[in-house]
Amino acid sequence: MQDGLLYSPIILGPIALIVALALYFRIKSLPDGNETMNRIGTYVREGSMAFLTREYKVLFVYSLVVMALLAYALGVIAAGSFLLGAFLSLLAGFFGMKAATFANVRTAQAARMGSKPNALLTALDGGAVMGLSVAGLGLLGLGVIYLVFRGTENVGTVLHAFAVGASSIALFARIGGGIYTKAADVGADIAGKVIENIPEDDPRNPGVIADNVGDNVGDVAGMGADIYESMVAAIVSAMAIALTVDETGLAKLASGAVTAAPVDLRWWAVSLPLLLSTLGLLISLAVIFIARLMKNGDPASVLRTALLIPPVILTIASAILMPMFGLSQGVTIALAAGAFGGGIIGLVTEYYTASTPIRLIAEACLTGAGTGVIRGLAVGMESIVIPMAVVAAAAGIANHYLDLYGIAIAAVGMLAGTAVVMTVDAYGPIADNAGGISEMAGLGKEVRDITDELDAVGNTTAAIGKGFAIGSAILTVLALFSAYNMEINHVRQLAGKGALILQLTDANVLIGIIIGSILPFIVGASTMTAVGRAAGAIVVEIGRQFREIPGLLQGKAEPEPGRIVDIATVAALKEMIFPGTVAIFSPILVGFILGPAALAGTLAGSLAVGATLALFMANAGGAWDNGKKYIEKGKLPGHKKGSDAHKAAVVGDTVGDPFKDTSGPGVSILIKVMGVVSLLIAPLIARFWL
Amino acid sequence: MQDGLLYSPIILGPIALIVALALYFRIKSLPDGNETMNRIGTYVREGSMAFLTREYKVLFVYSLVVMALLAYALGVIAAGSFLLGAFLSLLAGFFGMKAATFANVRTAQAARMGSKPNALLTALDGGAVMGLSVAGLGLLGLGVIYLVFRGTENVGTVLHAFAVGASSIALFARIGGGIYTKAADVGADIAGKVIENIPEDDPRNPGVIADNVGDNVGDVAGMGADIYESMVAAIVSAMAIALTVDETGLAKLASGAVTAAPVDLRWWAVSLPLLLSTLGLLISLAVIFIARLMKNGDPASVLRTALLIPPVILTIASAILMPMFGLSQGVTIALAAGAFGGGIIGLVTEYYTASTPIRLIAEACLTGAGTGVIRGLAVGMESIVIPMAVVAAAAGIANHYLDLYGIAIAAVGMLAGTAVVMTVDAYGPIADNAGGISEMAGLGKEVRDITDELDAVGNTTAAIGKGFAIGSAILTVLALFSAYNMEINHVRQLAGKGALILQLTDANVLIGIIIGSILPFIVGASTMTAVGRAAGAIVVEIGRQFREIPGLLQGKAEPEPGRIVDIATVAALKEMIFPGTVAIFSPILVGFILGPAALAGTLAGSLAVGATLALFMANAGGAWDNGKKYIEKGKLPGHKKGSDAHKAAVVGDTVGDPFKDTSGPGVSILIKVMGVVSLLIAPLIARFWL
């Protein structure tokens, strides 16, 4: 019976995909508005797909190289598993983004027909295609490779390679997409507002299409790859610990009831992460359908409730199931620590990006852009305190009951609602795109009001979703870190050597910590610079079009958006190489040149710096963005849109753009990539240094 | 004979102080200009001394409380040593700042007389009073308590308590002074440029005096306490390791020559940090006098050479002396690793704050303040890479020869030129003040040209000085960290327990790392906010004076600078309490609530995050400042002072102000304070958790 449970991910995964497909066709069948809307929608969709196609070509070459290396170092099976992990990520991104680029124009059309509920539903369905694809493909892939390879000695390596495949794609998709979206956004904004003095989303601005394309390739495709990777890494790290933990550690998983029949604890430890995530997907599916039924309600509360429910239900379900399986309620407590921790982080993030802090930023803009930027930086710094403390507390609680395996289970608990988190995350850019299309097609204020409201809701709930994502990333890295160490010691033990001493005062560890602390800054600096450089190129091209295309400024001629899309695409693909390479190769270099202890230190140093820096940048960026919107909504008496205070707030928003959508996400994924790469190469390093 | 060497610090220390006193009286005897200059100079001096007096009252109460706690927990002797360490810091700050506030107006007078060499000499002498006081008092204090308590079982605790005294004062002086100086600077700038539209340093602006006061209390007194603390902490951490290291570790100190007579290695290990620093002071004294003789040379090369020479000479001297003492050349190599490392860090810092990067910032300002700020943040992030790598390399080299003791010796080597570093650091604000006084007294362009050149030189060399300070801070914290661990294990060993396991994968250590990563952000956020808040209050008061004092804007009435000085003083003293308390109490709370392993993790986490964040903020701030000056000097063709690009650069400069002079230094001192406090309370924590 027990073994039958392992079929659940490979049954539920396809079901989620079928539902996604049904939603996809439903969206496609909806009316797509007038001819102008249709044309703009097609521009955006074609631009997005063109980027994705060219990005996938680059990633294909990269994957072939890595596959060859993996086949040489770890065997053909590991190479195949890497490819599967990578391919499923690409598939989810492709499918989800295609749906999003159909949904955007149809959301605008629903708003044009005056139906807010239908507009909400269309955007939500568009997001759900991505959400269900990500979770469905992730669980299906992991479920299949575990079913096939369980019991073989390869199972650990195969799982790790799958995670590295997922991580590598996420890394490049997130950084490439992040550079694209912010280069286009900043470039179009600067050219439009500063140089040509035309409003945002104005159809004369040739950069506006690229800006909308950016939302899709960055916030839909990039984010999808990121969340897919989070889920895969959390599950794999828990399974990796379960595969190598000793009997004493396993014993904590037993229910402890005297009447309990003996259970196969190893089987359960390895299977639980997969089974609990499958249960999470089942709950998420239900929640997505309940949310669809509530389309007439207040969009903000619908989405917020949807985000917070899956972890709670999963915890309750676990409390009922664990005794039935003869397992400790420690599992439930670890899950709950992660689930509620994620919720608290989300709400704190929302506070810092939507409440008093943004009023303070807006007020600081009264004395100029400098003080506005200072206040936003301070808000971003302060905003990391509670989330990091919550992660520490969740890790402490989970560790108390189940040691390091508990920390991994907490990460799984935090990601229980992956499908819903991704749905809400992808909903945001769809609503944002719908607004842009309405503006470009000149649909009028009533339509824009609906899309604006949906967009604003998306901004807030995105903060909650980000909370789950980053909190789980930190817990996952802690788990990966432990799994790495266990893997090293496993190899040493087989070779008759004692366990590796990772004494914190060991000079190698300390030097590793210093090296690790550098890496997030390299990724942060290079991505910020990349956005600046690419945005500059876009500004130049927009200026050229306004100069050289007669009648463009008067609205009598068409811009050439394709040129801008092309510049952004080439720049993003070129600029993502360096930070991506740093992320993937630094653990390999440190591990082989300085040894396993230095690599452990490097992971710890990059975790400490990367987690705080990523949170800081994401939240400062969100706070500046909303501080600007606070003034635009007229909430700062006497200082509306166009005032000096507003101009000052726009500066903060510009700084925040690469902070929150390029560098912050890039740094957060850096630490995860380093973790999974280290785990994969751990046996090689261990043997090299025997 | 050997023991006689221990008298060298208590002989050379007073000699340095006598030289400082002689320079002080020489400065005081110089002409102080016309009546207006004299009046402005007096304002600045009185404002500075008023702040210091009130700050010292707060610190007096704080010291009494800590003394009482220390007397209870560690005995009366430790309490007394704490007080001595704190008192000598206050004394150096008081004396040095007094000299600086006499030197500023006299530097302006020398420039008024048309003599650049005399102006340079006056500013240099003013700085040297602080430099020699800091080094002289530090060595004298440490020399005396070591002579008195060596051989007793108390010696470790007494030394640690002295360092805690030095650190606590440095913490509050740096944060309080940093908040004061930037609140006054930002407040006066905003009110003058934005609200009243009058130029910088205009005598009508009532905030200008407070701005000049701020240079003295922040960049002279605050910096003095910081460097004093750096030197003391580096020496004490090396002595602490030497006191507790086992015989195997000590053996590495032996020359290894077969003919060598046996030497008392423990004696040498403990004494070397003190003796090498004394030798460094002797070299520094000579260098200061050579620099004085070169007053007719190019100021930039004079100061730069002065900074780079002491470490080189100390290394050569060590290479000659070590064989004579029967000690290993490993000492020389560790010293050299630190000394040359410090030089490289300084030159890299100079590159990022004075070369291509600032041109890129200036060019980014062409497309607006947002892109200028983005570029500055990217420059700041990139600028940490080489310095951190150099620190890692220096630590690795030093560790290879002498284990962790070597790392402490590398820090001592980097600080060999403490007196010179501090001289150059204090020279900067004196030259800056001289410029402000010239402007306020309307001395004309020729005078201002001289002071501007001296000021610009100070900005560049300050970057090199900062490189030595922050690099040594990181090495010192690494050493303190090891000393803490040895102290914990020493107590456990006496109690018959095994050594503490600081396994990096221990959940307590990991949770500690997360907690540690939060603390620099708390200090960063609270100091940024404090500056913003205090600057806002100053802007309001300046606005009030312009509104309510008839004829002020027309230059027919006097402003009331005393009110601004008062507001800045009260705000700084109030706002420094929170970050200061966090720094001092967090190690105590973590140590007693979560245990010694969690505290070790906390130190590691705060080191990784704090070191990178401090470097990032300091260098980004310096780069923005110089990016603005780049445009002001007309180096950006077609965009001079007052252009849109310049206005954009001013925004970056405003953001950089608290970055480089408040939060960055605050974070850098945080990690040192946490290290020395942890070392002091290590025996108590070890016993508590036995």
Q: Tell me which chain B residues have a C-beta less than 8 angstroms from the C-beta of A474.
A: 514
Chain B residue numbers touching A528 (CB-CB < 8 A): 374-375, 377-378, 381
pLDDT at A219: 87
A608 and B609 within 8 Å at the Cβ level: the answer is: yes
- Are residues A571 and A537 in contact, defined by beta-carbon separation less than 8 angstroms? yes
Report residue A102 CA to chain centroid gap.
Answer: 22
Chain B hits for A616, Cβ within 8 Å:
521
Residue B189: per-residue pLDDT: 85
Q: How far apart are CA A319 and CA B645, in angstroms?
A: 62
Return residues 136-175 of A near B (CB < 8 Å): none
Instruction: Count other Cβ atoms within 10 Å, centred on residue A23.
Output: 22
Under 8 Å between Cβ of A129 and A24: yes
pLDDT score recorded for residue A93: 92
Mean pLDDT rounded to a whole number for chain A? 91
Look up tokens 């601004």; give the residue. Answer: B564
Q: Of the candidates A542, A615, A679, A152, which has an alpha carbon nearest to the alpha carbon of residue A390?
A: A615
Place A257 in a pLDDT band, splitting at 50, 70 and 90: low
Distance from CA of B626 to the nearest CA of A (A): 16
Q: Which two tokens stand for residue B63?
A: 């010291």
Task: Find the mean pLDDT for residues A591-605.
Answer: 95
Query: Which of B510, B508, B503, B563 has the alpha carbon at shortest distance from B537?
Result: B563
In a 10 Å sphere around its CB, with 0-12 CB exposed, 13-18 middle and 19+ buried, how is residue A642 labelled?
A: exposed
A28-32, A130-134, A534-538, B67-71: which has the minimum mean pLDDT?
A534-538
- Which residues of chain B make contact with A531, given a CB cutoff of 8 A? 374
Banded model confidence at residue A258, pLDDT cuts 50, 70, 90: low
Structure tokens at B566: 């008062």
Which residues in chain B are closer than 8 Å to A407, comparing Cβ atoms?
Answer: 507
Percent of chain A with pLDDT over 70: 99
Question: d(Cα A631, Cα A634) in Å, to the nearest integer?
Answer: 5
Contact (CB<8Å) A392/B514? yes
Q: How far apart are CA A546 and CA A566, in angstroms?
A: 18
pLDDT for residue B297: 86
B509 vs A: CB within 8 A? yes
- C-alpha span between B488 and B404 (Å, rounded): 16
Q: What residues 592-611 of chain A have any CB closer than 8 A to a CB of chain B?
A: 600-601, 604-605, 607-609, 611
The strand pairing partners of A503, in sequence order, are B503
B residues 350-409 near A, CB within 8 Å? 364, 367-371, 373-375, 377-379, 381-382, 384-385, 388-389, 391-392, 395-396, 399, 403-404, 407
Judge: A507–B391 Cβ closer than 8 Å, yes or no.
no
Radius of gyration from C-alpha coordinates of chain A:
24
Q: What one-letter code names the amino acid at B314?
A: L
Could B364 and A532 be called an inter-chain contact, meaning their C-beta atoms sit closer than 8 Å?
yes
Query: Is residue B462's pLDDT more than 80?
Result: no
- The whole-number average pLDDT for the span B528-551 is 89
Report residue B370 as tokens: 């947002």
A518/B605 touch (CB, cutoff 8 Å), yes or no: no
HEC letters along B49-112: HHHHHHHHHHHHHHHHHHHHHHHHHHCHHHHHHHHHHHHHHHHHHHHHHHHHHHHHHHHHHHHH
Which of 527-546 (B) contact A at CB < 8 A?
528-529, 531-532, 535-536, 539
Higher per-residue confidence, B516 vs A469: B516
CB atoms within 10 A of CB B244: 18
CA atoms of A681 and A66, how far apart (whole Å): 13
Q: Give the mutation candidate from B185, B375, B402, B518 for the A interface (greatest A CB count, under 10 A).
A: B518
pLDDT per residue as tens digits for the range A409-468: 999 999 888 999 999 999 999 999 999 899 888 888 899 999 988 988 887 777 777 777
Give the tens place of pLDDT for each residue, B392-424. 999 999 999 999 899 999 999 998 889 999 999
The whole-angstrom separation of Cα A636 and Cα A634 is: 6
- Determine the distance in angstroms separating the CA of B79 from the nearest CA of chain A, rounded to an integer: 29
Taking CA atoms, A541 is separated from A191, A528, A544, in Å, by 9, 20, 5
CB nearest to A368's CB, from B194, B391, B607? B194
Contact at CB, A517 and B608, closer than 8 angstroms: yes
From A395, A502, A651, residue closest to B504, measured CB to CB? A502
Residue in B399, B503, B609 closest to A503 by CB: B503
Q: Report the SS3 class of residue A356.
A: helix
Q: What is the pLDDT of residues B37-95, one digit of tens each?
A: 999 999 999 999 999 999 999 999 999 999 999 999 999 999 999 999 999 999 999 99
CB contact under 8 A, B609 and A607: no
Map tokens 């020493």 to a residue: B490
For residue B613, what is the nearest residue in chain A, using CA coordinates?
A: A609
Q: Is B590 on the interface with A (CB under 8 A)?
A: no
Q: What is the pLDDT of residue B260?
A: 54
Q: Lowest mean pLDDT: which of A224-233, A279-288, B248-257, B382-391? A: B248-257
Q: Determine, for residues A377 and B655 on separate chains, whether the beta-carbon distance falls below 8 Å.
A: yes
pLDDT value at position A551?
86
Chosen for mutation from B179, B482, B504, B541 (greatest number of chain A CBs closer than 10 Å) is B504
The verdict on B654 touching A (C-beta cutoff 8 Å) is yes
CB contact under 8 A, B611 and A517: yes
Mark yes or no for CB contact B529/A658 under 8 Å: no
Residue A690 confidence (pLDDT): 86
Mutation site for B-interface testing, chosen from A241, A366, A505 by largest number of B Cβ within 10 Å? A505
- Residue B479 touches partner A, C-beta closer than 8 Å: no
Give the model confidence (pLDDT) of A198-220 as tens digits: 877 787 888 888 888 998 998 89
A412: exposed, middle or buried (Cβ count in 10 Å: 0-12, 13-18, 19+): buried
Chain A residues near residue B389 by CB distance under 8 angstroms: 514-515, 518
Shortest Cα distance from A683 to chain B (angstroms)? 18
Contacts of B655 in chain A (CB under 8 A): 370, 373-374, 377
Instruction: Tell me which chain B residues have a C-beta less than 8 angstroms from the C-beta of A575.
Output: none
Highest-confidence range of A188-192, B21-25, B493-497, by mean pLDDT?
Answer: B21-25
pLDDT at A260 over 80: no
Are the C-beta atoms of residues B277 and B232 closer than 8 Å to each other? Answer: no
The beta-carbon neighbor of A374 closest among B389, B510, B532 is B532
Report residue B530 CA to chain centroid gap.
Answer: 20
Mapping DSSP to helix (H, G, I), strand (E, B) and coil, where does residue A495 land?
A: coil
The whole-number pLDDT of residue B503 equals 84
CB contact under 8 A, B505 and A607: no
Please write the tens of the pLDDT for every residue from B337-368.
Answer: 998 998 899 889 989 988 899 999 999 998 88
Chains A and B form CB pairs within 8 A to the count of 249
pLDDT one-digit tens code per residue, B300-336: 888 888 888 888 899 999 999 999 998 999 999 999 9
Residue A36's Cα: distance from chain center in Å?
Answer: 33
Answer whether B395 sits within 8 Å of A511, measured CB to CB.
Answer: yes
pLDDT tens-digit readout, B114-130: 899 999 999 999 999 99
Query: Is the pLDDT score of A259 beyond 70?
Result: no
Q: What φ, ψ does residue A327 adopt, rounded to 5°?
A: -110, 160
Count of other CB atoms within 10 angstroms of residue A71: 15
Asked whether the beta carbons of residue B517 and residue A609 sit closer than 8 angstroms, the reply is yes
